[in-house]
C-alpha cells in the first residue's frame, strides 16, 4: 500500500486541506495549466511550514523536496519558479481562499471554541506608494484556548475594521459554530451593531470600554464607586523581568444599562449583563506601571472567569501577531501587487495551525534544567526548522487525523 493511499484512507488534515482547495477557482485557461492549483497551494503551505517565507525560497524548497510532494500529488511538471508563483498567487480569489481556510478549520477541529478573540494586524511593508495603496490590514479570529486561527478578513486599513467584523462573524457562525462562545474585541467594536451581531449568532460579547466612549466609561467608573456587591479576584504573574498583580472586579447588577434611553445618541449594548474592571500593577526593573481597564459583557461572568477571558483576548497579540512578525517575518514581506499579500497571509495561517498542533518532535534538543519542571513545548520557530530538516516530521504534521 502506498503512503499516499494510507494517508487518504483515513481522513487526515491534508486530505481535508486538498478537498477545500478544490473549491477555489483556477483563474487560468485549462489548456495552459502545467501546474494544477492544488499542487501550487500544497507547495506553498508545505514550504511555509518548513521555514520558507518568500516565493523564491518556496520554489527552491519545492525543487529540493519534489519527491516528498509527489507522495501526495503527481507534480508531473515539477514545481514552478518563484516569479511564476508570485503571478499566480496574485490572481487567486482571496475571498474563496479565506472561505476554504475557515471551512478546513471547522472540519479539522470541529469542537466549538469557548473564547474567540478578534483583532486586526497591519502588514507594514505591503503598502504600494506608487499606486497609492495602503498596507494590508487583516482582521483575524483566534481561539485563545486552543491557540488556533479560525478565520480572517482583509480591509484597507484599521479604520475599516468595523466593516470586516460582521463579515467575519457570518463566516465563523456557519453551522452554529459560534453558539455558546465568548467573543472578545477591542474598543473599536464597542457599539450596538457589533454587539447585536454577536448576540444574533448565539454567542456572548466581551467589549473593551476606553476613551472612545467617555460617557459610558464615566458611568462605569461611578457604578464601581457606588456598588456594594463586587466580586473580586486577584492574581500574580512573574516573568519577562516584571512582577504584575491584577485585580479583577465584576458587577452584575447593571439594570441601569438597560433602562429607558436618557438622551439621544446614548450607547445601548444589547443584553449587557456584566461590567468588568481590571486593575494591574506591574513592578519593572526601573519603574512601576499602573493601569485600569473596563469591559462590558453579555455573559454573566464571575471575577475569575472574567479575568481569564480578558487575559485570553491578548493571546492574539503574543500567540498570533507576534508569531507572524517574528517567526514568519510577515512584516518584512514586500508583496504589494494583486492579491498576493492577502493570500500569503492565509497561507501563514494554514501553516501556523498545522505546525502548532503537530505532535512534539522526537529527539528535540533539551534545555538543561536545574530542577524538575514541566517539559517545555518546542517553539513554533524550532518546529519550522525541524520540518525543513526532516521530511518525516513534516509528514506527521500534515497527516495527523482530522478528528
The 3-class secondary structure across 332-369, one letter per residue, is: HCCCCCCCHHHHHHHHHHHHHHHHHCCCCCCCCCCCCC
Handedness of CA 369, 371, 372, 376 (dihedral sign): negative
Helix residue ranges per DSSP H, 201-260: 214-226
Locus of grid cell 514545481: 79
Average pLDDT value over all residues in the chain: 83
Average pLDDT over residues 246-262: 76
Per-residue pLDDT for 24 more than 70? yes
Q: How far is CA 125 from the centre of its chain?
A: 20
Per-residue pLDDT for 71 more than 90? yes
Residue ranges per structural domain of the chain: 3-92+373-399, 97-323
What was the pLDDT predicted at 150? 94
Please give the CATH number for the structural domain made up of 97-323: 3.90.350.10
What was the pLDDT predicted at 219? 87
What H or E segment, with its residue span, contains residue 113?
none
**Residue 221, C-beta contacts closer than 8 angstroms, at least 6 positions apart:** 294
> What is the reported pTM?
0.85
DSSP bridge pairs for 155: 137
What was the pLDDT predicted at 3? 39
CA dihedral 255, 256, 261, 266 (to 10 degrees): -120
- Cβ contact 274:306 at 8 Å: yes
Burial class (CB in 10 A: 0-12, 13-18, 19+), 169: buried
Q: Model confidence over 279-335: pLDDT tens digits?
A: 888 776 667 778 899 999 999 999 999 999 998 888 888 889 889 888 887 776 656
What's the rounded Cα separation, in Å, for the pair 227 and 224?
A: 5
Q: Which of 20, 78, 83, 76 has the alpha carbon at shortest distance from 54?
A: 83
Amino acid at each position: 500500500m502506498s503512503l499516499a493511499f494510507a494517508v487518504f484512507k483515513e481522513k487526515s488534515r491534508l486530505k481535508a486541506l486538498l478537498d477545500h482547495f478544490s473549491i477555489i477557482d483556477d483563474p487560468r485557461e485549462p489548456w495552459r495549466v502545467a501546474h494544477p492549483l492544488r499542487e501550487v497551494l500544497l507547495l506553498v503551505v508545505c514550504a511555509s511550514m518548513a521555514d520558507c517565507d518568500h516565493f523564491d525560497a518556496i520554489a527552491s524548497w519545492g525543487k529540493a523536496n519534489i519527491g516528498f510532494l509527489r507522495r501526495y500529488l503527481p507534480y508531473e511538471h515539477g514545481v514552478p519558479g518563484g516569479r511564476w508563483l508570485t503571478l499566480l498567487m496574485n490572481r487567486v480569489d482571496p475571498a474563496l481562499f479565506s472561505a476554504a481556510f475557515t471551512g478546513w478549520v471547522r472540519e479539522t477541529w470541529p469542537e466549538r471554541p469557548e473564547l474567540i478573540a478578534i483583532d486586526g494586524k497591519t502588514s507594514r511593508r505591503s503598502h504600494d506608494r506608487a499606486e497609492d495603496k495602503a498596507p494590508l490590514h487583516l482582521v483575524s479570529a483566534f481561539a485563545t484556548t486552543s491557540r488556533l486561527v479560525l478565520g480572517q478578513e482583509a480591509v484597507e486599513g484599521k479604520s475599516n475594521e468595523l466593516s470586516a467584523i460582521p463579515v467575519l462573524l457570518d463566516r465563523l457562525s456557519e453551522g452554529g459554530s459560534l453558539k455558546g462562545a465568548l467573543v472578545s474585541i477591542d474598543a473599536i467594536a464597542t457599539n450596538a451593531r457589533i454587539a447585536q451581531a454577536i448576540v444574533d449568532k448565539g454567542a456572548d460579547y466581551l467589549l473593551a470600554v476606553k476613551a472612545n466612549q467617555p460617557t459610558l466609561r464615566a458611568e462605569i467608573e461611578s457604578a464601581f464607586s457606588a456598588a456594594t456587591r463586587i466580586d473580586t479576584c486577584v492574581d500574580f504573574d512573574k516573568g519577562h523581568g516584571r512582577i504584575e498583580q491584577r485585580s479583577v472586579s465584576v458587577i452584575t447588577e447593571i439594570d441601569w444599562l438597560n433602562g429607558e434611553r436618557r438622551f439621544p445618541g446614548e450607547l445601548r449594548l444589547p443584553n449587557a449583563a456584566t461590567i468588568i474592571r481590571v486593575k494591574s500593577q506591574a513592578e519593572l526593573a526601573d519603574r512601576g506601571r499602573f493601569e485600569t481597564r473596563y469591559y462590558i459583557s453579555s455573559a454573566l461572568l464571575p471575577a475569575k472567569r472574567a479575568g481569564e477571558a480578558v487575559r485570553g483576548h491578548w493571546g492574539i497579540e503574543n500567540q498570533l501577531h507576534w508569531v507572524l512578525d517574528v517567526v514568519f517575518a510577515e512584516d518584512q514581506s514586500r508583496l504589494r501587487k494583486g492579491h498576493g499579500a492577502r493570500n500569503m497571509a492565509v497561507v501563514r495561517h494554514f501553516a501556523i495551525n498545522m505546525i502548532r498542533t503537530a505532535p512534539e518532535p522526537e529527539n528535540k534538543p533539551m534545555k538543561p534544567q536545574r530542577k524538575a519542571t514541566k517539559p517545555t513545548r518546542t517553539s513554533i520557530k524550532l518546529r519550522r526548522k525541524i520540518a525543513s530538516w526532516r521530511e518525516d516530521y513534516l509528514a506527521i504534521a500534515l497527516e495527523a487525523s482530522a478528528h
